[in-house]
């Protein structure tokens, strides 16, 4: 309490850190373990060890295990969709190039360990945590699919893409990336799941799948 957090000197007691860092460290350790073992199979003690604190310390920042879990899952998903959304709002140009850019973004984000962990955790635990299920359904999945749908619809209107059911077609476009990420998370790295190969191949596949019919 006497220490100014912005100028923490080196000779503080070893265990003392600024309390603003603790929750993040605990959640980061939690995400990794929750994703690997699931909510029920993850012991608070393992999280505490991974975060370098004791079990009891967790209860200083989180009401209970479930509270930690809900906070963790939300923490690492929140910013991503908004980042893409901001990108879309500022974009000027053709929808074909836009789709290309957005798929690159999605591809990058889906590679990160955090995102893979979140997607896996969401699927595994949505049945047990209505709060998490509803939040991600509304703020991540439907929002994300909606953004993509609007891109496709706009492209159809300008004639860059062929007429189609945009809402359904979006699943043909983005689901391979998500499922590939899940496959790697589930089975580890396999030559069949090489994400570089998938990305190039799928981009070409999408380009042809959406291409407007040639006249003549």
Partner DNA sequence: GTCTATATGAGGATAGAC
Partner DNA sequence: GTCTATCCTCATATAGAC
Q: Using CB under 7 A as the criterion, which residues of the chain lie in contact with DNA when the complex forms? A: 1, 15-17, 19, 22, 42-45, 52-57, 59-60, 64-66
Check the CA dihedral 146-148-153-158 and report its sign: positive
Question: 42 near 29, Cβ under 8 Å?
Answer: no
User: Alpha-carbon distance 76 to 90, whole Å?
Assistant: 24
Residue 19 partner contact from DNA, its own copies, none using kind-dependent CB cut-offs of 5 to 8 Å:
DNA
18 phi, psi to nearest 5 deg: -65, 135
- Nearest one of 69, 71, 34 to 50, comparing CA atoms: 34
208 contributes a contact to its own copies by CB under 8 A: yes
Neighbours of 164 (CB within 10 A): 15
Residues touching its own copies, count (CB under 8 A): 52
Neighbours of 110 (CB within 10 A): 20
Query: What residues from 151 to 190 belong to the interface with its own copies (CB under 8 A)?
Result: 162, 164-165, 167-169, 171-172, 175-176, 178-180, 182-183, 185-187, 190
Q: Which of 50, 109, 141, 154 binds its own copies (CB under 8 A)?
A: 141
69 contributes a contact to its own copies by CB under 8 A: no
Rounded to 10°, the helix 195-210/166-187 angle is 170
CB of 169 to DNA, least distance (A): 43
54 contributes a contact to its own copies by CB under 8 A: no
Q: Which two tokens stand for residue 18?
A: 């600024």
Residue 204 partner contact from DNA, its own copies, none using kind-dependent CB cut-offs of 5 to 8 Å:
its own copies
201 contributes a contact to its own copies by CB under 8 A: yes
Question: 182 near 198, Cβ under 8 Å?
Answer: no
127 contributes a contact to its own copies by CB under 8 A: yes
Positions in the binding site for its own copies (CB under 8 A)? 35-41, 120, 122-128, 133, 137, 141-142, 145, 162, 164-165, 167-169, 171-172, 175-176, 178-180, 182-183, 185-187, 190, 192, 194, 197-198, 200-202, 204-206, 208-209, 211
């Amino acid at each position: 309490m006497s220490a100014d957090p912005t100028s923490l000197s080196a000779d503080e007691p070893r265990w003392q850190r600024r309390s603003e860092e603790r929750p993040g460290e605990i959640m980061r350790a939690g995400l990794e373990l929750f994703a690997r073992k699931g909510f029920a199979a993850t012991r608070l003690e393992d999280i505490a060890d991974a975060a370098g604190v004791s079990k009891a310390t967790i209860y200083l920042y989180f009401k209970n295990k479930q509270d930690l879990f809900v906070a963790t899952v939300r923490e690492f998903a929140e910013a991503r969709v908004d980042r893409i959304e901001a990108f879309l709002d500022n974009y000027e140009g053709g929808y074909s190039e836009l789709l290309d850019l957005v798929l690159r973004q999605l591809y990058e984000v889906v590679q990160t360990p955090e995102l893979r962990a979140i997607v896996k955790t969401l699927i595994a635990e949505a049945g047990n945590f209505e709060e998490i299920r509803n939040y991600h359904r509304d703020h991540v999945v439907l929002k994300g699919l909606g953004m993509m749908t609007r891109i496709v619809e706009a492209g159809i209107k300008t004639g860059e893409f062929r007429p189609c059911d945009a809402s359904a077609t979006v699943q043909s476009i983005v689901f391979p990336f998500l499922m590939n990420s899940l496959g790697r998370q589930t089975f580890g790295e396999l030559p069949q799941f090489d994400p570089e190969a998938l990305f190039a191949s799928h981009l070409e596949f999408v380009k042809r799948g959406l291409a407007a019919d040639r006249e003549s």
